[in-house]
């Protein structure tokens, strides 16, 4: 079974300035660690939530670049 990674980004009102920059940097670092055997998706949330992709994607170079 290949790992499935879900990256969640808080984009609520409290996440401004340094906090959102730190969250973005952490997400980018996580994306850099993914390998093509893994699947992933990114979810952002605040008062509502949004999936970046309709489902999880294989972590190909193209998919990871699209997420970035």
* Contact status, residue 4 vs residue 40, Cβ threshold 8 Å: yes
pLDDT band with cut points at 50, 70 and 90 for residue 56: very high
CB of 67 within 8 A of CB of 42? Answer: yes
- The reported pTM is 0.87
Judged against a pLDDT cut of 80, whether residue 1 lies above it is answered with: no
Mean per-residue pLDDT, 59-68? 96
The predicted-structure confidence for 2-53, as pLDDT tens digits, reads as follows: 899 999 999 998 998 999 999 999 999 999 999 999 999 999 999 999 999 9
């Amino acid at each position: 079974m290949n790992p499935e990674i879900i990256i969640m980004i808080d984009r609520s009102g409290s996440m401004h300035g340094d906090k959102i920059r730190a969250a973005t940097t952490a997400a980018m670092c996580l994306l850099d660690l993914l390998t093509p055997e893994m699947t992933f998706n990114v979810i952002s949330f605040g008062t509502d939530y949004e999936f970046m992709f309709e489902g999880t994607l294989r972590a190909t170079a193209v998919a990871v670049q699209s997420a970035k």
